[in-house]
Structures are given as structure tokens and as C-alpha cells.
Amino acid sequence: MKSVIKYDLKTPVQFIKGIGPRRAEAFANRGINTVHELLYYFPFDYFDLTQVSEISSLRRITDTTKRISVVGSIRAIDIAGRPPRRKCVITLGDATGTISLVFFQNANYFKSAFQVGEMLAVSGKLNFFQNRPQFVHPRIDRLEVGEEDNLKGFLHTKGIIPKYSSGEDFRNLRITDTVFRKIMKEVVDNFVEQAEEFFPESFLKRLNLLPLPVALRNIHFPETVEYKNASRYRLKFDEWFCFQLLLAYRKMKTKIQTPGISFNVKSNLARKLVDSLHFKLTKAQIKVVKEIANDMSQPKQMNRLLQGDVGSGKTVVALIAMLIAIDNGYQVAFMAPTEILAEQHYKTLAQFLREVNVNTRLLIGGQRKRLRDDIIGDIREGRANIIVGTHALIQESVEFANLGFVVIDEQHRFGVDQRAELVRKGKESVNVHPDVLVMTATPIPRTLSLTVYGDLDVSIIDEMPKNRKQIKTMMLAEPESDQLYTMIRATVRKGQQVYIIYPLIEESEKVDLKAAVESYEMFRDAIFTDLKVGLIHGRMSSDEKDQVMEAFKAKQLHILVSTTVIEVGIDIPNATMMVIEHAERFGLSQLHQLRGRVGRGAEQSHCVLVVPDWLARITKRQTDNIEIFDSPNSNNINELERQKARLTDGQALTRIQTMLATNDGFRISEVDLKLRGAGDFFGTRQSGLPELHIANVLDDGPIITLARQEAFQLVADDPHLRNQEHQSLRKYFFEKLKTSLTYIDVG
Ligand code: ADP
Ligand code: MG
């Protein structure tokens, strides 16, 4: 430090020893301008050298469930065995002995990724092969060349060393890992005491939270693993607490301040619908109908999320609520994210409403002007009771007569703004806020609904209709197609129908479509010549698609070959077999949705995941001690790319395994989120998730729950944070609003 005392947390980083103007610029490119921001640039991981074992001691280890770490240099790298059992074996040695690191997957990658002489820190569970200990796919950290000395110090003290993500720009400025740590040490030593605590002491005590300066010191240079964890906990808590505080305010505002319509929930239309159903509502459906009706009867705006696995019967629940609104003289808008889905909902509603006199209209893009004008007229004059549509509903030209109830399907594909826009249209037409019901076909973990949908009340349909049998899922390797054809024939012989799905993604649309069409022709002309085979894909016109779907529904087709256009909304109980070709190319929730197209009737249904031979082999061979997601710490872009490819394979494997293991949509979405990350799953900005530094929606369940409880309690106790002991928090919170929480609609 050039001169310590005068500086504070707002000091620009170039005043720190080791940071000149050019390095300051590199930091600035990552949004780090001040000492404070540098303090909040947390390690993405640590080398935990507190548990490092000497290699010679591993022979004596009997517990193969515990993670073990060793540090050593690479003595040899070999490829052994023949395909498909080819493996890469790295021999790692320290002063006491050597051990093998074995890689079955991507052997070539591992051979080329490492070099003899490199220092590695390795950890994993031990595995004994011919009585010799070895690691199979362990976690690997590369230690920097020239860092041995530095590490020896740590090794000696068996410390925990932080790892900061750097990158090409940093390395060009010779900010190596070692240099980075030195800079951080400097900053922590000189500034951490200046970080001002914003929670009252009693609060810290009660929740067992570390004081802020202690947490900030130990997040960078933990004294022990316990301190590291406690620091992470405290800093994660801070982020969630602020976010939940914001949600608490938002919710308070809608709950208390937003007047809504007090619907009379005794509805003849709804009664008539329920009486016309050929099934009884499940207990779970009745429970959520009650929750919704109760909200609707209140003179406040309803903001409720309706969650339930695919096939749990959300549509009929939403429809009951819609009919209540219509009976009270209001219009209902039902917004879906895609045209196919909107059309599908429109048809489903029409089916349900055959015996109920309600005027339902469909508004989507690309309709002819005459028709469109007619629909818009019906909406404006109040002749349309239910308007199903895409975001075409929020165009300027659409004016509602009296929109009192809004249903939004698959909300996370819409921006928060689009929801607000439809609500605004309602408010314009009826002068109070319409009630809002958000439906999602993607079950999401509860903690995530507490964040993404944090300002909504949640109703969950946690029970499937009774007559359903669990869908049986199996995997077949491509070469096993004879077996597949036999199964298909057996299904058709029972009078049931079969879907065969092909992947189609934008990047390779042409090739994909060709593959689907060619397969269709092969089935029709060569394999199932005695059966009726149909084809449907997104490039066909609406009329063509309708014709094919109608034919399938009428059982005029035995087999329907399709691209993913039938992912959601299709409801044909007589179809009992879902074959997904190239299942490895589909996302997990997509697979789950596709599987949800069968199992809709009383018959036993099957889902067959067809995958390449190699994937089938690995899936069958997979053992617990191959850790797919542990990957070497990369230091160059090329390697990152290769890792990504490897990871993708690993992910495909995990997706298939998950599908084979469970039918539970909540569990599946949890895995999907882990694979894709919340940002990708929802699109961070769209969903209203804040930018998170250290918090992670997937890991922080209990912290989120606690932060939520505390934040909501605080707002209840001291709504304006006037209390003397809340002044620091108040200041901190508003500072945070100005920076990282700004884009969330506070108003
Ligand atoms: P979701 O929208 O939740 O995926 P749907 O509303 O499409 O589920 O319902 C799936 C199928 O189950 C539909 O054919 C629907 O008519 C039917 N269904 C809904 N509720 C019940 C019930 N209680 N008993 C039997 N079938 C039901
Ligand atoms: Mg209400």
C-alpha cells in the first residue's frame, strides 16, 4: 500500500500496491473500480490443502466413500485398453510414491490436456484396482508453474488457498494466480475492518451470522473450512435478504395497496362445467380451486401461481376460475408463449366448453385482416368472453371491454413487463387491477418459486388423476431398432397409438427436418408397410397440421412421426408409446414434456429413449465414482471449449439417467436447473432474478427460506425501517437498490 491510512472503500483500485493504470483497466472491464468492489470479488473456489494426504499412505485407506486429496507432479501419461474400454492413465507422484488417475471418458482429451511435469492437486474417492489404489475421473486442479514455492508454504501450513477467476487479459498483464492472491491479501489486510456492519448485533447473534468484516476476511483467506463455510453463508444471506426485502415491499404493495375485484364465487357456469366432466376432480385440484376462489372473492388483486406436473390437470382448474370471472360479467384473457400453444389451449377450452355457453376467441399473429378485425371488435364490444392468444393480446390495437381476469401460461417465457402490460390493459378497461393467475407446466423447485415468483402466492397440484399408471421409461441403443419395431407393433396390435419424435433445432433445422422426413418415409415404405404412418412438423401449414392431428385423434393413423411441435398441449389418451429418437439431443424438461404426451389414459404407457450406442454403453456402465462434472481447471480457451464438449456429453448422460430414474417433474426440473444454471433456465433478466455474486438459487434453499422469513418479518415490524437500529440496513438496502437491484420493478 502506498499509504494506508487515508484510503477508504471507495478508493479506486489503482491506489493499491501491484495495480497500475493498465491493470486497473483490466479490473474496470470486470466492473471492479473501487476497493469495495474488489473486496466483493470472491474466489470461485479454493485449493483445500488442509486434507492433503501423502500418496504412500493411500494403500492403508479402507474407507472409499470419503474424498481424498493429493498433490504431486505428472510422471507419465498413457493410453491403455481398446475401444470401448480405452482409458487414459496419468501417473502422479509426490515425494512418497505414485498413484494412477484413470479416465474412461474422453481418454484422448485427457491425454492431450496434460503434460508430464505439471503439478496437480487432485481429489476424489479412492478406488482399488488389482489391489492398487487409483482415482477414477477425480477432480483436478492445475497448480501454476513457478507456484510450487508459494504452495509449499501453504502445504506446510496446510492452508486453504483461494482461486480467483482471471483470464487472458489478466495473464497478459502478468496477473497470475499468485499475483492475484497477493493483491487480495493486501486489500483484505488493509480494508476489511472498514466494511461496515449493517445488521444489528442482536440479529447476527440470533441467526448465528458472522460479523461482516470477519466474513469478508474469511471468504478470501479462510482460517478453517468452517470459517470458509460460515463466511459464504453470511454473504449469501446478505444477497438473499436484500432481494427478499425487495419482494416483501413489492408484495406488501400489491396486497395492501392494490384494490381488485371482489368476485362472487358461486358460479352457475363453473358448476355446469364441473357437472359435464367425465371425471371427478382430484383432491389436489379441489384444494387449489378453493385457494383461487378465496383470492378472487377478496376485494384485493389476486397474484397467484398455479404449479403442477404435466398431466396433473391445470387447465380445468384455470377454466373454473375463468368461468367464475365470466359469470361476474368480466372478460378473461389467456396468454400463451407460442402460437401452437395458444391454438392448443383454444381447442382444449372449446372441448371443455361444449355444454357451456361462452364465446371463446383466438387472437394470434398472421391471421387475415378480416378475421382479426372481427376478433378485435368482439373484444372491444365485450362479445368475446374468453380471449386466448399470444403476446398479440398486448398490442396497442387490442382494447378490452372489461378485462377482469388474466391467465398467463408458461410465465417464465414471458418478461415481467409483458405480464404487467396485460394487467394494465385490464386496469384501463375496468378501473381496478384484474386478478392474475400464472400457470406453469414446468414444475420448479420451491425455493426457486420463492425467488422468481417471490411476489406471487403459490398453489400446487401435487397429485395426478387416479386412473393413471406410471409411464415406464427405457433406453435403447440405435442398433437395437429391431427390438423397437417389435414393441411398436405390439402396441399397435393392442389398438393403441405411437409417437416417434425427432429433434429439430434451429441451428441445424434443414438437416434435422430432412432426417425426420426420411425416417417417416422409411417407416411408411419399408418397415411398417401394413400400418398407417403420419408425419407432422412445424413447416407444414396450420391446415395440414390440423388434418394430420385430426386423423391421429380419430385413430386413422397408428404411428405419428413428429418433430417437437407436439411438445406441449397435445392430449390423446389412446397414444401410449412415446419414442424419442436422438434423446441425447433434447433438454431435460423437453424430454419430460414429451413423455407427458403419453400416460394420459388408463392403459400402461411406455417411453423409449433412443440414444447412440456409445451413450447407451456408458449409461449402462456408469458407476458412482465417475464424477462427470468435475473437470480440470482450465487455463486456456481451447481447453475450455473442449471441456464444454466433454461436459455436454456428461450432461446428455445425466439427462438420460434422470429420465430413467424418475417421473417426478419437480425432481427433473431440479436436475435440469443444475445442468443449465438458473440464468439459462429462466433468462436472468426476464425472470426478475437479481444479479447474484455468491448466492446460488440451486444450493441456497434453506438460506433463501430463512432470508425470506426474516425480510418479511422486518417489513411487517418496521415497514419504513425507521427504527434506530435499522438505519445501517436502510442505508445499505437503498444503496443496493441503486446498483445491483435497479432493474427490478420497484414501483
Ligand atoms: P396439464 O395442463 O396440467 O398438463 P391437463 O389439464 O392437460 O394437464 O390435463 C391432462 C388430461 O387429464 C386432460 O385430458 C384432462 O382432461 C384430464 N384430467 C384433468 N383432470 C382430471 C381428473 N381429475 N381426472 C381424470 N382426468 C383428468
Ligand atoms: Mg379479487
Ligand 1 atom at minimum distance from 310 CA: 4
Task: Calculate the average pLDDT of the chain.
Answer: 84
295/675 Cα distance (integer angstroms): 36
pLDDT in tens, 689-715: 666 778 877 788 889 889 999 999 999
- Asked if pLDDT for residue 725 goes beyond 50, the answer is yes
- Asked if pLDDT for residue 648 goes beyond 70, the answer is no
Among the residue ranges 145-149, 483-487, 593-597, the one predicted with the least confidence is 145-149
pLDDT in tens, 508-556: 778 888 889 999 999 999 999 999 999 998 788 878 888 898 899 999 9
- Residue 137: its pLDDT value, please? 86
Cα angle value 534/535/538 (rounded, 5°)? 150
Cβ–Cβ under 8 Å, residues 704 and 450: yes
Q: Does domain 268-461 have CATH number 3.40.1010.10?
A: no
- Asked if pLDDT for residue 265 goes beyond 90, the answer is yes
- Residue 119: its pLDDT value, please? 85
- Asked if pLDDT for residue 219 goes beyond 50, the answer is yes
Establish whether domains 51-146 and 472-662 are of one fold: no
- Residue 635: its pLDDT value, please? 34
Helix, strand and coil content of the chain, in percent to the nearest 5, comes to: 50, 20, 35
Closest CA to 469 of 611, 666, 607: 607
Residue among 316, 346, 469, 570 whose CB has most ligand 1 atoms within 8 A, to mutate: 316
CATH class for the region spanning 1-49+158-194: mainly alpha
Ligand 1 binding residues, C-beta < 6 A: 279-282, 285, 308, 310-316, 441, 465, 571, 600
- Residue 746: its pLDDT value, please? 37
Among the residue ranges 21-35, 123-137, 165-179, 491-505, the one predicted with the least confidence is 165-179
Q: What is the DSSP string of 617-631?
A: HHHHH--TT--TT--
617/615 Cα distance (integer angstroms): 5
| Site of grid cell 385482416 | 369
134/59 Cα distance (integer angstroms): 10
* Residue 76: band (very low, low, confident or very high) from pLDDT cuts 50, 70, 90: very high
Q: Which long-range contacts (CB under 8 A, 24 or more apart) does 251-256 make?
A: 251/454, 251/455, 251/712, 252/715, 252/719, 254/300, 254/301, 254/303, 254/455, 255/300, 256/300
Q: How far is CA 295 from the centre of its chain?
A: 29
Distance from Cα 300 to the centre of ligand 2, integer Å: 5
Q: What is the mean pLDDT of residues 259-277?
A: 94
Cell numbers linked to 237 = 444471506
Residue among 286, 571, 574 whose CB has most ligand 1 atoms within 8 A, to mutate: 571
Q: Return the SS3 of 206.
A: helix
| Site of grid cell 387475415 | 368
Closest CA to 86 of 643, 614, 628: 614
Q: Which amino acid residue places its CA nearest to atom 9 of ligand 1? A: 313
Beta-bridged to residue 409, according to DSSP, are 439
Name, of 75-84, 412-421, 632-641, 671-680, the range with top average pLDDT: 75-84
515/520 Cα distance (integer angstroms): 9
504/564 Cα distance (integer angstroms): 7
- Residue 691: its pLDDT value, please? 67
Cα angle value 597/598/600 (rounded, 5°)? 100
Listed in sequence order, the DSSP H helices in 596-691 are 613-621, 637-661, 665-682, 684-687
- Asked if pLDDT for residue 623 goes beyond 60, the answer is no
Cα angle value 391/397/398 (rounded, 5°)? 60
- Residue 448: its pLDDT value, please? 73
- Residue 545: its pLDDT value, please? 83
Instruction: Read off φ and ψ for residue 396, nearest 5 degrees.
Output: -60, -35
Strand order in the sheet with 403-409: 360-363, 386-389, 331-335, 403-409, 435-440, 303-308, 457-461
Distance from Cα 285 to the centre of ligand 1, integer Å: 10
Name, of 54-68, 128-142, 215-229, the range with top average pLDDT: 215-229
Residue 193 is classified by DSSP as G
Cell numbers linked to 611 = 440414444
Q: Which ligand has an atom closest to residue 595 CA?
A: 1
Ligand 1 atom at minimum distance from 314 CA: 3
- What's the sign of the alpha-carbon dihedral 240, 230, 181, 4? positive
Among the residue ranges 112-121, 152-161, 246-255, 344-353, the one predicted with the least confidence is 152-161
Residue spans of the domains in the chain: they are: 1-49+158-194, 51-146, 268-461, 472-662
Q: Does domain 472-662 have CATH number 3.20.20.370?
A: no
- Residue 737: its pLDDT value, please? 76
- Asked if pLDDT for residue 163 goes beyond 90, the answer is no
Q: What is the mean pLDDT of residues 309-328?
A: 94
Q: Which amino acid residue places its CA nearest to atom 10 of ligand 1? A: 311
- Asked if pLDDT for residue 75 goes beyond 80, the answer is yes
Axis crossing angle, helix 588-595 with helix 665-682, rounded to the nearest 10: 140
- Residue 168: its pLDDT value, please? 81
More confident residue, 605 or 674: 605
pLDDT in tens, 130-149: 888 899 888 887 776 555 55
638/629 Cα distance (integer angstroms): 18
612/365 Cα distance (integer angstroms): 39
- Residue 680: its pLDDT value, please? 64
Ligand 1 atom at minimum distance from 308 CA: 3
* Residue 232: band (very low, low, confident or very high) from pLDDT cuts 50, 70, 90: very high
Q: What is the mean pLDDT of residues 435-463?
A: 80
- Asked if pLDDT for residue 2 goes beyond 60, the answer is no
More confident residue, 286 or 457: 286
- Residue 121: its pLDDT value, please? 84
Cell numbers linked to 234 = 453470511
* Residue 506: band (very low, low, confident or very high) from pLDDT cuts 50, 70, 90: low
Q: What is the mean pLDDT of residues 594-600?
A: 91
188/38 Cα distance (integer angstroms): 9
- Residue 415: its pLDDT value, please? 64
- Residue 411: its pLDDT value, please? 59
Residue 721 is classified by DSSP as -
Distance from Cα 712 to the centre of ligand 1, integer Å: 36
Closest CA to 87 of 141, 130, 138, 137: 137
CATH class for the region spanning 51-146: mainly beta
More confident residue, 624 or 684: 684
- Asked if pLDDT for residue 685 goes beyond 70, the answer is no
Among the residue ranges 238-247, 250-259, 261-270, 274-283, the one predicted with the least confidence is 250-259
More confident residue, 603 or 670: 603
What's the 3-state SS for 220-275? HCCCCHHHHHHHHHHHHHHHHHHHHHHHHHHHHHHHHHCEECCCCCCCHHHHHHHH
